[in-house]
Structures are given as structure tokens and as C-alpha cells.
């Protein structure tokens, strides 16, 4: 049977993974899964003290970890993050662009240019230039890599009052395809995940309101909110050998919300 089928490996031993927005929620769950699978991980968040604390906690568990603060709206800060990560571990094999902000929930007529800029800068511009910096390292090293972009169900459907966030995430979905097309020649696989309603700080308000929670659950085929582990499992799949022939795709992790 060994000659007929090669069982895919979910082992990340020897790999280096950089996950932005990884001090809590989905990003923290993904980083934890990668570390448990054997990867050296880079924790990237807005507060250095939080990154340093998580680094210590990971190291106490025997994981190789580096915590670096970053402002995903500032390209100089992104360059510093990538430089520090590569300087510590020598290379980067996996990038997860998870950092993001929900932005102001309001009608389009009430959105200011400043509110537009903040949401677009972090959710789209930061993702773009972080991918650019890491892909350049992957190309130079010549051994390929994986880039996983965090999109959203809001980029697939058209909910009211999240126009800027929805537009940014829709752009992330399309950008993923362009990156995959351009970088396939360097053996860099680029894919995206579109979470639905996952239990995180960003969705706590909806879930805490019984009426709102019930209305949302009625739109979800599986009739439950997602857990961060639901997203982390898909990210692990996309980071490993098991998905080596997949690039340019979007995987919704939404309990069936976008098909209901």
C-alpha cells in the first residue's frame, strides 16, 4: 500500500510561521496550532508587552517563538517585523495575514475618509505589503512557501453597515487569486479563509444579545457559532503538505452561512 498512497503530513517541524494579529482570537489559535505541529512561530500584535508575554509562555512549553509588535497600517513597521522574524529564524516559510479591524459599523453616508483609511490600511494595505515583503524572501530562498490571507464572509455577501470592511475583505479574496497566479512560479501557494461568525472579541456583542444571536443563527446552516479552532484547523491544512496542490482558492469557514 505504501507504493499506492502517500499519507499527507501535517508536520511543520523545521518550518517558520509568521502570523499577524496573533495575540488573541483566531490568530492566537492558528499560532498555537502551528507551534504544536512543530513550527517556529512569530507572534505579531500591536503591543510589545503582550507579544513578549506570549513568547515567554510559548517558550515555557518548549516552542520556538518570537514576539514582535507591529503597526499593520505602517509599511516601515511591517518591514521591521519581517526583518526581525527572518533575522531570528533565518527564513519564513508560512505567512498568515490575520491582522484586521472591523471598522465603524454605520451607513455609507456616515463614513468619513479617516474611518475609510484606517480600515483599508490595516485590512488590505497591510496585508498587501506584508505579503510582498515575505514573498520576496521566499523567492530569494528558492524553496517556496505558503501565504494564507484572512478574508471574511462579509467579502462574499453584502451586509448593511459594514461597507468599508466588506469592500476590504472582498478585495482580499481577489488579491489572493492574483498573488497565487503571480507567485506560483516561485512555488508559493496563496490561499484565503473566509470566517463567518466565530466566537471572538469582534463578535461578542452580537452573541451577547439574545435577539441578534438568534437572528444570526437562523442564517447559519449548522445552527451554531464557530470556534477559533474551526479556523485554525483549516489554516493548518493550508500550511502543510496536505494542501500542496491547492492555490488561489477561498475556503469559507462559516457553518454554511454563505450558502444558506
Question: Where in the chain are the domains?
Answer: 16-200+227-253
Q: Collapse the DSSP code of 222 into the 3-class scheme (helix H, G, I; strand E, B; otherwise coil) and give the result.
A: coil
Rounded CA separation 171/241 (Å): 27
pLDDT given for residue 208 in this prediction: 81
For strand 16-20 and strand 94-97, is the pairing parallel, antiparallel, or unpaired?
A: parallel
Please name the residue that has the C-alpha cell 496563496.
190
- Please give the CATH architecture assigned to the domain spanning 16-200+227-253: 3-Layer(aba) Sandwich (3.40)
Instruction: Tell me the catalytic residues.
Output: 165
pLDDT given for residue 212 in this prediction: 86
Residue stretches of the chain with pLDDT short of 70: 1-4
- The residues that bridge with 45 in the sheet, in sequence order, are 69
pLDDT given for residue 3 in this prediction: 62
22 Cβ contact partners less than 8 Å away, ≥ 6 residues apart:
28, 30, 31, 41, 42, 43, 44, 45, 54, 96, 98
Do 22 and 45 contact (CB within 8 A), yes or no? yes
Which strands form 145-150's sheet, in the order they lie side by side? 65-69, 40-45, 16-20, 94-97, 145-150, 188-195, 250-253
Rounded CA separation 117/108 (Å): 14
Q: Give the pTM.
A: 0.94
For strand 188-195 and strand 145-150, is the pairing parallel, antiparallel, or unpaired?
A: parallel
pLDDT given for residue 2 in this prediction: 57
Amino acid at each position: 500500500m505504501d507504493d499506492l498512497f502517500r499519507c499527507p503530513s501535517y508536520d511543520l517541524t523545521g518550518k517558520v510561521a509568521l502570523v499577524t494579529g496573533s495575540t488573541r482570537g483566531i490568530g492566537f489559535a492558528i499560532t498555537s496550532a502551528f507551534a504544536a505541529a512543530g513550527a517556529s512561530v512569530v507572534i505579531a500584535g500591536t503591543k510589545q508587552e503582550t507579544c513578549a508575554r506570549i513568547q515567554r509562555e510559548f517558550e515555557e512549553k518548549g516552542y520556538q517563538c518570537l514576539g514582535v509588535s507591529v503597526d499593520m497600517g505602517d509599511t516601515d513597521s511591517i518591514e521591521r517585523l519581517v526583518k526581525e522574524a527572518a533575522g531570528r529564524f533565518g527564513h519564513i516559510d508560512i505567512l498568515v495575514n490575520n491582522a484586521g479591524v472591523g471598522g465603524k459599523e454605520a451607513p455609507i453616508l456616515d463614513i468619513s475618509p479617516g474611518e475609510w483609511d484606517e480600515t483599508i490600511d490595516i485590512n488590505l494595505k497591510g496585508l498587501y505589503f506584508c505579503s510582498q515583503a515575505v514573498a520576496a524572501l521566499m523567492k530569494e530562498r528558492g524553496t517556496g512557501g505558503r501565504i494564507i490571507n484572512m478574508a471574511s464572509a462579509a467579502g462574499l455577501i453584502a451586509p448593511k453597515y459594514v461597507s468599508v470592511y466588506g469592500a476590504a475583505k472582498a478585495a482580499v479574496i481577489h488579491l489572493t487569486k492574483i498573488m497565487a497566479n503571480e507567485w506560483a512560479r516561485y512555488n508559493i501557494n496563496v490561499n484565503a479563509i473566509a470566517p463567518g461568525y466565530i466566537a471572538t472579541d469582534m463578535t461578542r456583542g452580537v452573541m451577547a444579545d439574545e435577539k441578534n444571536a438568534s437572528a444570526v443563527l437562523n442564517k447559519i446552516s449548522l445552527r451554531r457559532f464557530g470556534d477559533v479552532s474551526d479556523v485554525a484547523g483549516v489554516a493548518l491544512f493550508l500550511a502543510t503538505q496536505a494542501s500542496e496542490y491547492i492555490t488561489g482558492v477561498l475556503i469559507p469557514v462559516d457553518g454554511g452561512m454563505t450558502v444558506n
